[in-house]
Amino acid sequence: MPEILQHLVNHDPSDPSRRYAIHNPLGPSFFQLTLSSANKAEIFAEALSELDKNQSQTSTIVKNLQKWNTEAASRFGLRSTSTVLSTPFRLIYPNCDLHSFEETGLYVRQFLAISYCWHSPDFLSEGYKKHDIWPVKKSIVDAVLAEKDHPRVGIWMDQICIEQSSALDKQLSIAAMDIIYRSCMRMVVLFEDVLLTEQEIQLVQKYDISQRPYNDGWKFESREIETFASFYEKVNAARWWSRAWCFHEMGVHRPWSERRQTDHRFNATFILCGPNDTTLKMKWTNLILLMSLAMHVLPNAQIWWKGQATVSGMIKPEDQGNGWSGSIMARHNAISTTGCSVLQDRISILVNLCGLGLAYKGPPLDTEEELLYLISLLALAAGDLYPLSMMDSQSTMLKEKPTWISKHEVNDTTIPGYKIGTMEGIHRVEEEEIELDMLFLDAPWRSIKEKDLRPTYDIFPYTITTTYPARKRPEVEGRVASNHAHSDAEYDIPRRRFLAGCILNGDMFTGRIWEQIKRDVVGPNYNAGYNEDLSPNPAFRSAAKVFLAHLVPVSTLLGIVHPSPSTLDDATLFLTWLTDYRSMYYIGYRIFRVPCTMRWDSAFITSLTVNEHFHDGPDREIQVAVPTHLLKKSCMPLRVWILRPAKDDQVKEKWRIVAKALLLGEPDLLTEAAQSAGKPGAKVILRERTVVGG
């Protein structure tokens, strides 16, 4: 070894500058550098700055956890710049790169991070041979090394760079994993189980954005469709998409960010296998463009492919700037569809994806229910209220006891973001029960009777036909209609009940519920993604006139005039929304009108999800309540709790959840509760510190 290189590798780590890395040989062909704190601080600077920005949010979470449940709070430790910089960080190089450090010393500027699936017995073919110190074969190693743009660019791969025999090294590295993948110059993804044919490789090389501009989309030749279908199926079936840690690495790396998408140097590289032990490289941008074409050219392809799940819980930058955070529960729901051999690792993955200054240090978890409880508690402590709205037809048991927390029928990955709050209305959260402030709607439900439907036949004389959303890509519209399983006849009566309820409740209620739906539902959901904005269906204009006539009868005597064109347009849009197949989630199959003011102003309760305890007793026992934290919030989640008295001798007044439902069109219930408190005939009652179990 030349003398100057000998000087580098013998560098004294106790030097006061503490600037340079420590050199360690790894076999005959590679060496490892353990970076100094100063070096880590520089290459992690941007990611550490983000972590520091979230310290206020982290502090609020910790305070809420300690207030509600000290045992659960003790399972989380704080992580900060100092904890990350104290975590060992090692990079690997081929020996031939050591000379490049002659002038700079052992100081690193950039590194690549490898993302791949750990091998299982059934993952790879018999006779698979790992190369040298690497856990992958030589052709993959060669492709990875070729990704280095400069000899001083290091490579980080967990099995080599984390001390596998040290539990502490693993724990510290897991807590810093988001910093590592966010800070790397480029992520390199290994699709070892994707074996392409020569025809598929030629297709990928032909439809490359660097060679062929995308413009409004690539148009395949007819003979290429079959080849593309095969390529799509292989990539979509890659095991990498289904592993929780791979999902984490993609999520924290953010390959969709502007800098990573527009600059070739920072754009993630995917390495796929070809015939005769060859490899093919694809950039992330090219991969997503190709995969997204499937729904336009393959008749049986899903609208969503697996790679799109990585954006779960993301929010717009402008919303983030206004204090919003991406939903914790949306990310959890996405993670829960992936595989993870260590259950509590999902908490670490979630914390990292959300950028929280926390690290899980608690005991191992035994069941999915324990995991759901802890993550729900963490979400509530941050201000994500979605756990209060989750409901399933089967109640949940936690450690063989009923619990207030519920699974949800659908793992929704599109849950809106949240703003961090003090959560003063929640006082205690334990495994079996939660103590919180609730507003009870102390009035009987009113269902929509058959006679109430008569005016709706003036509006829609025949079966109400379903409206399908217009798509930005017209070729997708037919697929949406064909995937829709329910007939117009099945939806006809529920739609009429909703319409009749609006007429019965009057124009003020209808105006209020429509403004709520436009704000919470149409704007952020219907007018997004692949859909064109919801617009009035001209065919419903005559029906809208009849609807308005029933809602506000024209009267010269009372000075009620014909509706203005803008009002008529809005009524037409309302009927268009009513007939949209997506609106059935809000309409439900049963509508209940619940009086909620002393003036008998009502709200709608729809879309009930009940569990097996719903019929455990007389109907007169049932109470309707809304957690105060869910008031003045989006109408999309299930905000109404349907309660029965719990059979518990130890607590004077304790309730159990037997159903949840949507609350639509409500007035200001908190103001009503304050103004009607103590008065006879009050329809809403605020009850603080209500104890609710499962």
Q: Using pLDDT thresholds of 50, 70 and 90, give the confidence band for residue 33.
A: very high
Q: Using pLDDT thresholds of 50, 70 and 90, give the confidence band for residue 478.
A: low
Q: Using pLDDT thresholds of 50, 70 and 90, give the confidence band for residue 298.
A: confident
Burial of residue 108 (CB within 10 Å: 0-12, 13-18, 19+) is buried
pLDDT given at position 309? 72
| CA-CA-CA-CA dihedral for 232, 236, 237, 243, to nearest 10 | 160
Is the model more confident about 643 or about 302? 643
Spatial distance between the Cα atoms of 9 and 463, rounded to a whole number of angstroms: 82
Q: Using pLDDT thresholds of 50, 70 and 90, give the confidence band for residue 474.
A: low
Spatial distance between the Cα atoms of 584 and 588, rounded to a whole number of angstroms: 6
Spatial distance between the Cα atoms of 646 and 657, rounded to a whole number of angstroms: 9
pLDDT given at position 76? 97
Q: Using pLDDT thresholds of 50, 70 and 90, give the confidence band for residue 557.
A: very low
What 3-state DSSP class applies to 87?
Answer: coil
Inform me whether the pLDDT recorded for 443 exceeds 90: no
Inform me whether the pLDDT recorded for 482 exceeds 60: no
* Helical residues (DSSP H) of 506-655, grouped into ranges: 507-517, 541-551, 565-579, 584-587
- Angle among Cα 390, 394, 400 to the nearest 5 degrees reads 100
pLDDT given at position 414? 83
Inform me whether the pLDDT recorded for 17 exceeds 90: no
Give the contacts of 273 (CB within 8 A, at least 6 positions apart): 139, 140, 191, 192, 193, 194, 195, 196, 279, 280
Inform me whether the pLDDT recorded for 692 exceeds 50: yes
pLDDT by residue (tens digit) across 174-195?
Answer: 999 999 999 999 999 999 999 9
pLDDT by residue (tens digit) across 304-349?
Answer: 777 777 766 666 666 666 778 889 999 999 999 999 999 999 999 9
Q: Please state the φ and ψ torsions of residue 691, each to the nearest 5 degrees.
A: -95, 125
Would you say 179 and 54 are in contact if contact means Cβ atoms under 8 Å apart?
no
Nearest to 433 by CA among 407, 409, 398: 398
pLDDT by residue (tens digit) across 131-164?
Answer: 999 999 999 999 999 999 999 999 999 999 999 9
pLDDT by residue (tens digit) across 565-601?
Answer: 678 999 999 999 999 999 999 999 999 999 999 988 9
